[in-house]
């Protein structure tokens, strides 16, 4: 019985590590591309790292990932071309309208100022702020994905150390996903499908939306188990 419990505990830790890895990689994919990141895209290592992490924490997404992603895994012939694709897709509105990667662009109600204030509150509760070097806003997709990376990494830490309870981190994940990422990513996905032609960013957005929706359901189930 003790051996079984150890195995189950290890599996939960492994899943939390993999979830954190997926969120980190998704955030990396939506950042302005640099040469090192482009190399990972081009040589297949980025897709391989995603595949390995998904196999641990979201195996049911693997088939779709391999079918939709693998043909789109090499986004450009060089980093400069990928930079141009990124700017066209998300920033310059040239030659076609770009897609915003900021939650505030998809608000159904409330103000952008209130949204940013709420997000700052989430981050500050865990001792985090957007660094001045980032020169970005709290509602950036990359910031929200990295916050989930942080929360899942903290969950991993408390599960490994066994000194604190993972409940607060799970509940924070569920609240943040429900109020933010899972709430606006479907709208972002529709905008990407309607406006973007770049297969790489279309596939990345689809994967991100699907993973977040699945992860929210998983987190809800884990919270229910804690409450039983």
pLDDT of residue 73: 61
Long-range contacts formed by 31-37: CB under 8 A, 24+ apart: 31/142, 32/83, 32/86, 33/79, 33/82, 33/83, 33/86, 34/79, 35/79
pLDDT of residue 205: 96
Query: In this structure, what is the dihedral angle of CA atoms 175, 180, 186, 190, given to the nearest 10 degrees?
Result: 180
Q: What is d(CA 66, CA 202) in angstroms, rounded to the nearest whole number?
A: 14
pTM, to two decimals: 0.91
CATH number for the domain running over 2-227: 1.10.3480.10
Q: Would you call 156 helix, strand, or coil by DSSP?
A: helix
pLDDT of residue 161: 84
pLDDT of residue 118: 97
| CB-CB contact of 147 with 123 (8 Å) | yes
Residue among 29, 21, 110 nearest 69 (CA): 29
pLDDT in 10s for each residue of the chain, 228 residues: 344 333 333 478 899 999 999 999 999 999 999 999 999 998 889 999 999 999 999 999 998 888 877 666 667 789 999 999 999 999 999 888 999 999 999 998 889 999 999 999 999 999 999 987 778 999 999 999 999 999 999 999 988 887 778 889 999 999 999 999 999 999 999 999 999 988 899 999 999 999 999 999 999 999 998 876
Q: What is d(CA 25, CA 118) in angstroms, rounded to the nearest whole number?
A: 25
pLDDT of residue 226: 85
pLDDT of residue 227: 77
Helix axes 182-195, 199-227, angle to 10 degrees: 160
pLDDT of residue 165: 81
Q: What is d(CA 119, CA 175) in angstroms, rounded to the nearest whole number?
A: 12
Domain coordinates in residue numbering, the chain:
2-227
pLDDT of residue 10: 40
């Amino acid at each position: 019985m003790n051996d079984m419990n150890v195995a189950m505990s290890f599996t939960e830790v492994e899943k939390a590590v993999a979830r954190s890895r997926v969120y980190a990689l998704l955030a990396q994919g939506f950042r302005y591309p640099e040469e090192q990141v482009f190399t990972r895209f081009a040589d297949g290592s980025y897709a391989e790292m995603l595949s390995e992490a998904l196999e641990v924490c979201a195996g049911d997404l693997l088939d779709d990932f391999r079918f939709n992603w693998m043909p789109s895994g090499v986004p450009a012939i060089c980093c400069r071309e990928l930079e141009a694709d990124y700017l066209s897709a998300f920033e310059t509105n040239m030659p076609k309208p770009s897609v915003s990667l900021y939650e505030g662009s998809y608000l159904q109600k409330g103000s952008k100022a209130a949204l940013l204030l709420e997000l700052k509150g989430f981050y500050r509760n865990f001792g985090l702020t957007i660094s001045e070097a980032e020169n970005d806003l709290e509602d950036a997709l990359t910031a929200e994905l990295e916050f989930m990376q942080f929360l899942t990494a903290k969950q991993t830490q408390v599960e490994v150390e066994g000194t604190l309870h993972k409940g607060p981190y799970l509940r924070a994940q569920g609240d943040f996903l429900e109020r933010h990422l899972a709430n606006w990513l479907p709208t972002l996905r529709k905008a990407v499908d309607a406006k973007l032609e770049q297969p790489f960013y279309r596939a990345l957005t689809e994967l991100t939306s699907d993973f977040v929706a699945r992860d929210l359901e998983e987190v809800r189930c884990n919270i229910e188990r804690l409450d039983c």
